[in-house]
Structure 1
Amino acid sequence: MRTRGGVLLANIIAGLGLGYTVTNIGFGDYAELNRMFTFQDLRMFLAFAGAVGIIVCVFALLRVRRTPGRIHAGVIPGAMLFGTGWAISGGCPAIPIIQVSSGYLPALVTLAGVVVGMRLCRWANGRYFQLDSGSCGL
């Protein structure tokens, strides 16, 4: 039986490991991210390809079988907004946290944008779309 404390500790350790790795490979540096997004440096592409390869192997070892289903209505617009925000700010929601912890305080603006975006998503979802409650992040 897993306890809440054990799961929390495992998440903290995994998060610290991810932050350490992301920082050391340069994904926390805006200039590095810009070079990767403009394909001047293929490390990000290769990192994502490697991650997909690893998860395919893990799924095969664990015999995870998923049947492709209908794509959620919010996936395409959400992916477009996420990608646009990532390209403008230089990171997904985890990167600004790493940047702030590394002393790069302008990333606080990006974090504020993440919070405002999630709130706007919840508002628009409630008013116009009525998609499931997990479609707007936290």
Structure 2
Amino acid sequence: MRSRGVVLLANLLTGLALGFTVTSIGFGDYAELNRMFTFQDLRMFLSFFGAVVIIASVFALLRVRRGAGRLHAGVVPGAVLFGIGWAISGGCPAIPIIQVASGYLPAVVTIAGIVVGVRLCRWAGGRRLLRVDRGSCEG
């Protein structure tokens, strides 16, 4: 029971640190996100590129292998839909929480959209309309 408390505290502190960092660099600011998606400011794209380089390097060092090298048929359309939703709403799943905590209340609509999207994914997967398992609906 004690270890669960330590894990909860570690998750809470890590989440607060991530939220502070994301807010400090402007990732929670809708105007910053809009400038990125309209190619007016490439700073955030470069930040994402740097993050991908870092995680790819860590995966290579740890010899992490994901999948058999083939993409699931839904990855590309899902990524396009995710990007369009992010461009419209100004947030991926974590950003709206940071936006609401920062006082940007329209992000509540984005959070509601995320919840509806996950539920629709589960519903479609349960009816075999999508070839996914329930766990893959969360990302």
TM-score, normalised relative to structure 1: 0.87
State whether structure 2 residue 107 is matched by structure 1 residue 107. yes
Is the contact between residue 100 and residue 107 of structure 1 (CA under 8 Å) also seen in structure 2? yes
Corresponding residue number in structure 2 for 1:32: 32
Secondary structure at the counterpart of residue 28 of structure 1: coil
Within 5 Å, which residues of 2 pair with 1:1-138? 3-61=3-61, 63-66=62-65, 69=68, 70-127=70-127, 128-137=129-138
Query: Aligned-pair distance for 1:132?
Result: 1.3
CA 1:136–1:44: 2 relative to 1, 3 Å: same
- Structure 1 unmatched runs, 5+: none
Structure 1 residue 67 displacement after superposition: 6.0
| 3-state SS in 2 of match to 1:3 | helix
After superposition, the CA RMSD in angstroms is 2.0
1:102 Cα deviation from its structure 2 partner: 0.5
- Please tell me whether the aligned partners of residues 89 and 110 of structure 1 are also in contact (alpha carbons under 8 angstroms): yes
Any stretches of 5+ residues in structure 2 without a counterpart? none
Q: Deviations over 1:75-134 (max 9, x none)?
A: 222212211110110110111100100111111111111111111111122221242121
Q: CA deviation at 1:73?
A: 3.2
Shift of 1:68: 5.0
